[in-house]
Amino acid sequence: MADSFSKKEKAKKKAQKLKEKSQRRENRKSNNNKGKSIESMFAYVDENGHLHDTPPTEERSEINLEDIQLGAAPIIEESPIKTGTVEKFILEKGYGFIREDGGMGETIFFHTNDLLDLVKQQDRVTFEKEKSPKGYKAIEIRKQ
């Protein structure tokens, strides 16, 4: 009895799969990476951290051991007394803001209780910075 069309198509697909499988097997055999020399698998790292196929030829630069700093960098003690300009001062509410000289453009809060001299806006003042829960706060404010 003759095979139907679908049976012939299934047989063709099966034969095609077997053919592709045998081709892949042959490719694996011909492109076999096993048995290569170990030197071809090495990767060399230079002093800058770059990978190379060949070993580095140049001599490494010597580093003076005294130049290496271990641990945290030393903390430079800065003067506790800062200078700045009164940016905004609201006497009725009892607070104001000082812009520190050489600062990052941020203003520092102060309360009238921390004033040692009476100040007004745009006055040059000296003060000390103190950490508060809401940021920095100026204390011991004197007019220059």
Whole-number pLDDT of residue 1? 58
Whole-number pLDDT of residue 13? 96
**Architecture per CATH, 81-143:** Beta Barrel (2.40)
* Tokens at 106, concatenated: 């941020």
Question: Domain segments of the chain: what residues?
Answer: 81-143
Residues 47-70, mean pLDDT to the nearest whole number: 82
Torsion of CA 108, 110, 114, 119, to 10 degrees: 100
pTM: 0.47
Highest-pLDDT range among 23-27, 39-43, 50-54? 23-27
Residue 23: pLDDT band with limits 50, 70, 90: very high
